[in-house]
Chain A
Amino acid sequence: MRIRAFVVVCIGALILDTALAPEIEILGARPDFLILAIVYGGLGAGVRIPIIAGFLMGLTVDSELPEYFGLNALALSITAFVSASLLDRLVKSNILVQCSVIFGGTLLRDVIFYAAYYRDSLDIFGHVFVRYSLIGAGYTVAVGLLIHVMARLANWRAITGALRR
């Protein structure tokens, strides 16, 4: 995916994360549009660009939480690195691979963020992880599947396999 398209995807993800995600909560869990942007937007963009995109999107989200400014940037940078590295080495157009990376990426971001956020009370961290992170990761995978299906229907090859290595 070209850089410009990736930038558009990231801006779209930020809009969706701010405007839509709170409206489509299920059991308190929201889909992670930023992870979806990193995974789907970063397909074919290597590893560095998703890392930078994750960092910048994280900083933008962090501006809402000044006390932990930089935490989301850290979490999304690492998540982007892991996700993009995995996709770079696996068959990235495979839907199971995509779903696994999305699921793992969402959990990784939550683990990094909540571990730092609840560093003084790990029992709450455990509760939040079980109560929200797992459902949120599943929800994000579901949205990812939807995007994959739509990409197949629209013959959007960046996601469905034209760029397979």
Chain B
Amino acid sequence: MLSPLTRLLRGNRDLATLVICVLLSAIALSLPTGVKVVVSTIVSTPVLRPLKRLATAADGLTRLREENERLRRLAMELVEERAALVSQGHENERLRELTHFMVGFAAEERFDLLPATVIGMPGGRIIEGIEINAGAASGVQAGMPVVVPDGLVGKISSSVRARSLIEPLTSASSAVAVTIERSRVRGVVRPRYGGASELLDWQMDYVPARSDIRVHDRVITSGLGGVYPAGLVVGDVSSVDEGPLTMTVHVDIAVDLSTIEQVFVLKGLAAPSPERDAMMQTLLSELATEAAPSATTEVAPSATTEGGAP
């Protein structure tokens, strides 16, 4: 019975190997469970454990990479959030300053101020016009002066229903009747252009020779001409050149026109009102107490709100 099988296996070593392996497998399968566990542990410990460790390391590396990616995204979000917060902080500060100016100016000068937002700056290298989002519907008319807390911006040149165009101090046709605040010497401030239509600086014309003007003297509107009310800051004297008949006075204007975002249109004199005065004083005192930088109150000017109107 065994001899043909033995002969077959002797003649076919491959088959014999298979039979041996199959028999060993069958023996392994038929072992009691406890023995199987022991044998499995014996095989697993030296062989599979290092492989498993390798697999765990690879898995850990993948997880680490994923976590790194997640943290990178989180960092990006935080950077964006921080930038937004910084921007909001600056806006808050700017709006506080504007509010303070709006209330203070109106209280001192009895002007009706209309806040407006800059929505466009037509022109190339030279700012030839500034477009704002307040127009005839809000009572804005051509010729009304426009200011910011730093000083004079220009005047309204044209106005449609919801928009207006400001003729700024950079405009070639701009001319502002001014006076030196200290010595009350009068003149007219105009922009001065070079050969290639390049804005050089501002010059105060019609100043008689040997007038009492010094560098750093403040230049304010004189009120002459009827366009700008007296007392609006225009800038400072940057240099003075003495001539035989007239003086050439160079002026640095106070407002950086390229960075303004909010402006105020001077709509005219407000009617005297004790209630308005009282309200302005209250607002001023409140603003003074909130001057600390940690204050979080935001006051957003609205283009359709007529600031200080009784």
Contact = CB atoms under 8 A, between A and B. Distances in A.
A15 interface: yes
Interface residues of A, number: 34
Interface in A45-86: 46-48, 51-52, 54-55, 58-60, 62-71, 73-74, 77-78, 81, 84-85
Interface stretch (B18-26, B158-166, B284-292, B301-309): B18-26
Interface in B7-26: 13-15, 17-18, 21-22, 24-26
A14 interface: yes
Contacts of A58: 25
A52 B18 CA distance: 8
Contact of A74 (B26, B31, B41, B54): B26
A151 B110 CA distance: 91
Given A64-B48, A66-B33, A15 B54 contact: yes
Q: Is the interface of A mostly helix, strand, loop or mixed?
A: helix
Contact of A63 (B24, B27, B47, B54): B47
A65 B28 CA distance: 12
Contacts, number: 98
- Of the four ranges (under 10, 10 to 19, 20 to 34, 35 or more), the interface on chain B belongs to 20 to 34
A120 B36 CA distance: 21
B29 A74 contact: yes
A41 B41 CA distance: 27
A70 B39 CA distance: 11
28 contacts: A14-B47, A18-B48, A18-B51, A18-B54, A19-B51, A19-B54, A19-B58, A23-B62, A48-B14, A48-B17, A52-B21, A54-B21, A55-B21, A60-B43, A63-B40, A66-B36, A69-B29, A69-B31, A70-B26, A70-B29, A73-B25, A74-B21, A77-B25, A78-B18, A78-B22, A81-B14, A81-B15, A85-B14
Interface of A: 14-15, 18-20, 22-23, 46-48, 51-52, 54-55, 58-60, 62-71, 73-74, 77-78, 81, 84-85
Given A18-B54, A52-B21, A81-B18, 11 more contacts: A14-B51, A18-B48, A18-B55, A55-B25, A59-B28, A70-B25, A70-B28, A70-B31, A77-B21, A78-B18, A81-B17
